[in-house]
Structure 1
């Protein structure tokens, strides 16, 4: 009887281990975005116009919603608010929002590949206030 109980317990444990090992999760790797052909971006000359065109609408990031992307406040709002990560540009909150990887894609009209590449290039180059 004792051996039978041990065999049942061993079999149950073995089945449990096999079931756990059979669980599989596909890790989705986002496609790598090539920015090698994007020229260096200036914050005031290239990035601010993106914000002015698609973010600084009434009720959006014109002071009502964080980050405040109006030209006079945008750089400090992004850098002090933790939206920029120069050591891992692809994981920057600003970039992730622009890709649509957060609850609501930004801009609300949907991701813009050109804007995304330009912002990623600016962050990759150190996110200077130039």
Structure 2
């Protein structure tokens, strides 16, 4: 989202303990004016990382009629452009109990992720792409903490974390990531290379520049830097 003014959500977003049982009933919930949210880089990765695994909301399984693997699928059902509180998808992210999404054993989205989705909906749920892309991929000074970890958190840890990570592969920590990185499986999967399971599952490849940054980190020894 770049440099934006501080976004404040009352009740349903700001603190999990203050979430409304029915978000639409919150009368003190509001959003300040901020810069536009980019669908391609800010919103789509949240859905793909947390919602499109096998048996869930992908183009093949379409659980409960939802496909969150693409823009067309996401806006097809449950999104009311310009009205995040009236959008069923948003409500499912904040309402506590058995109806909340993602379902157990997957964890609730972070407040920041929920805020991003709400802002995108409120701004019209537009299919914004190539946001601020200069065409230059800078791979100098690639580190685990500042470069690789944020990419994995954005695209991978929705499935590959927690007590039961998908495929028994976790990217939640450096130590958990290291063996997959050194074996070549991490780069192979995000490149969609032959012989590897393409990741993110049931979704498009992550941006080429992010793939190259992870590749450079691995080539430099996959250090915990």
Distance in structure 2 (CA, Å) of the matches to 1:93 and 1:102 = 15
Structure 1 equivalent of residue 37 of structure 2? 41
Deviations 1:102-129 (A, max 9, x none): 8521122224311111001001111101
Q: Does the aligned pair in 1 maintain the 2:82–2:125 contact within 8 Å?
A: no
Q: Does the aligned pair in 1 maintain the 2:82–2:123 contact within 8 Å?
A: no
Distance in structure 1 (CA, Å) of the matches to 2:48 and 2:76 = 20
The reply on whether 1:53 has 2:45 as its aligned counterpart is: no
Distance in structure 2 (CA, Å) of the matches to 1:103 and 1:38 = 32
* Structure 1 residue 86 displacement after superposition: 2.1
Distance in structure 1 (CA, Å) of the matches to 2:96 and 2:88 = 9
Question: Normalising by the residue count of structure 2, what TM-score does the alignment of the two structures yield?
Answer: 0.38
Distance in structure 2 (CA, Å) of the matches to 1:62 and 1:79 = 13
Structure 1 equivalent of residue 206 of structure 2? none
The reply on whether 1:75 has 2:71 as its aligned counterpart is: yes
Deviates more, 1:45-54 or 1:100-109: 100-109
Greater RCO (Cα-Cα under 8 Å, separation 6 or more): 1
Distance in structure 2 (CA, Å) of the matches to 1:31 and 1:110 = 23
Return closer, same or farther for 1:102/1:94 CA change in 2, 3 Å cut-off.
farther
Q: Does the aligned pair in 2 maintain the 1:56–1:62 contact within 8 Å?
A: yes
Deviations 1:47-97 (A, max 9, x none): 111012211112111231131111xxx32223332x111242211111111
Structure 2 equivalent of residue 116 of structure 1? 114
Distance in structure 1 (CA, Å) of the matches to 2:97 and 2:82 = 20
Asked which structure has the greater CA Rg, the reply is 1
Distance in structure 2 (CA, Å) of the matches to 1:102 and 1:124 = 25
Distance in structure 2 (CA, Å) of the matches to 1:77 and 1:88 = 18
* Structure 1 residue 34 displacement after superposition: 4.7
Q: Does the aligned pair in 2 maintain the 1:69–1:77 contact within 8 Å?
A: yes
Structure 2 equivalent of residue 84 of structure 1? 79
Return closer, same or farther for 1:85/1:101 CA change in 2, 3 Å cut-off.
farther
Q: Compute the RMSD of aligned alpha carbons.
A: 2.6
Pairs aligned (count):
99
